[in-house]
Amino acid sequence: MSDDDKERPDLSTFNLVAASVMTLFGVFALAFLIPDHVPASAADDQGLGARFMPTLAVGALTLLTCMLGLNVFIRRVRGLGPIREDNEDNDDQGFHGKEALNTLAMLLGSALYVALLSTMGFVVSSAIGLAACLLLGGVRNWLLIAVLSLGIPLALSQILWWGLTIQLPPFQLFD
């Protein structure tokens, strides 16, 4: 075992326990919570039942946690050691002022997005949100920002309407 391996914490036990707990929660939710507490009737104007999204989200969670648990278990049985982390030795892993400010900005941005969603509709509010995210991410090509921030919400709304007959909130002037 090298000095680098000795300094790196072994999170395989934690990962195995966490994956087991989350997998059990997912199975419990899929088997008992969702069937007992989410109505099965389909919405009047949408072709999907109310159970579709919770089942999809919990199913994805359960699948991913099963994959993590199997990966850790197989590594432990084969004696491969812990999963390598991509952290650099000099990285500061703390939560300081910049991270707190970024978290606050994300919370305020999410609240603003929800407020815009109810008044301006999905396409306009998503275009504003994507443009803000691209600008904060360092993208300065205005043509790229315009194409992505308008194209993605328009394409997504059309895909959801034609593929799943889900109508996203429209712009209020068009109601």
Between CA 128 and CA 150 the distance in angstroms is 9
- Predicted confidence at residue 147, as pLDDT, reads 94
CB-CB contact of 10 with 72 (8 Å) = no
Q: Which contacts qualify for 125-132: CB closer than 8 Å, 24 or more apart?
A: 126/152, 126/153, 126/156, 127/153
Phi/psi for 49 (5° steps) reads: -75, 165
CA dist., res. 168 & res. 159, Å (int): 11
115 falls in which pLDDT band (50, 70, 90)?
confident
- What is the per-residue pLDDT across 13-32, written as a single tens digit (0 to 9) for each? 778 888 899 999 999 988 88
Q: Where are the domains of the chain?
A: 3-78, 110-174
Q: Mapped to the 3 state alphabet, what secondary structure does 21-88 carry?
A: HHHHHHHHHHHHHHHHHCCCCECCCCCCECCHHHHHHHHHHHHHHHHHHHHHHHHHHHCCCCCCCCCC
Joined together, the tokens standing for residue 85 give 């982390």
The pLDDT assigned to 148 comes to 93
The answer to whether the CB of 160 falls within 8 A of the CB of 168 is yes
pLDDT tens profile 40-71: 765 555 556 777 778 888 899 999 999 988 88
